[in-house]
Amino acid sequence: MHYGIISIVNRSVSTGLAAERRAYILQTVARQGTVRTADLIARFGISPATARRDLTSLAKEGLIRRVHGGAVAIQTTPLSPNSIVSRETDDSPRVRVGRAAAGLVAKGETVFLGPGLLGMEVARFLLEIQPEITLITNDLGLAHWAAQNRSSPRHTLIVTGGQAGERGGGLMGPLFRASLANLRPNHVMLELGGVSAVEGITDDSLAWAEEIQVLFEIGAQTVILALPEQVGRVAAAHVAPISELDVLVTTREAPAPILWDLSEAGVRVVLA
């Protein structure tokens, strides 16, 4: 089925570039524990001074710690909406993606949110706009925040079992897969390393890519949450062909030709 592209919120490209780079830095540090200046320069085509300026700005906010050649996480627990989301502007790419994705969930539905900063944004908006939902997650940081910030007695929170990954990023392993056997979410929302009409859905973590395949077998609506730089990117580990993806939620700054290719492949593209 062909859905086409839905445009939700306008935004200038120039304002978003720095915010997108810094959101990527936070996401990478949260997932891998570190980010290298050289990788930022190569990924975004920026100067060393610009990369260092981005890292310094985030370090001054207390979100990362600067080290020679890049930055590292300043804590071992997953970053939470209280420490990061609240510092974003209402028009930042991450906030816009979270708001748009939350709008896909109707009252009374059940949604699985995987680990990542975009998933945390979705949770924040869901608990604000929906008086009755069930939230399933394998992200301990997200679960802790949601448990403390549920605004309605009809908000149900379910945390999967599993073993914490070596670098954070969510619970995984046999207990995680077993806990999904009796769960039937309406939506599965994931932030992954890349989405491409040709190469499909990919991620930087082979271990997490293998776990995610179980989620695609549940039969729920599959939603990928992506910042613009993840659209068209092909990460190291294959997750699923593009035919397994129902909805992509990203921002208007994502490359238009790639968005059209995804749309032609049957993916509903929601632009924030």
Task: List the chain residues with pLDDT less than 50.
Answer: 1-16, 75-89, 167
Establish if 8 belongs to a structural domain.
no
Residues 63 and 84 in one domain: no
DSSP-based three-state secondary structure for 237: strand
Domain with 239, as residue range(s), is 78-271
pLDDT at 124: 92
What does the block give as tokens for 168? 């954070």
**Which are the contacts of 166, defined by CB distance < 8 A and separation ≥ 6?**
none
C-alpha 82/C-alpha 59 separation (Å) is: 17
Angle of the 48-60 helix axis to the 13-32 helix axis, nearest 10: 70
pTM (2 d.p.): 0.70
Alpha helices in 130-264 (DSSP H): 140-149, 174-179, 206-216, 256-264
DSSP label at residue 58: H
Shared domain for 35 and 93, answered yes or no, is: no
Q: Retrieve residue 98's tokens.
A: 């979270």
Q: What are the structure tokens assigned to 18, written together?
A: 């720095």
Domain match, 87 and 45 both: no
For residue 49, the 8-state DSSP code is H
Claim to verify: residue 169 and residue 109 sit in the same structural domain: yes
pLDDT in tens, 5-32: 443 333 333 334 787 788 888 878 876 6
- Tell me what pLDDT residue 138 has: 94
Q: What is the pLDDT of residues 81-110, one digit of tens each?
A: 444 444 444 678 889 999 999 999 999 999
CATH of the domain at 150: 3.40.50.10470
Same domain, 66 and 133: no
Q: Identify the pLDDT of residue 3.
A: 47
Domain boundary among 53, 72, 91: 72
- Give the model's pLDDT for residue 104: 97
Are 161 and 259 in a shared domain?
Answer: yes
> CA quadruple 237, 243, 246, 248: dihedral positive or negative?
positive
Which pLDDT score, from 0 to 100, does residue 90 have? Answer: 64
Rounded Cα distance, 266 and 80, in Å: 34
Q: Which two structure tokens, joined as six digits, stand for 145? A: 């925040």
Tell me whether residue 6 is in a domain: no
Does residue 19 sit in the same domain as residue 114? no
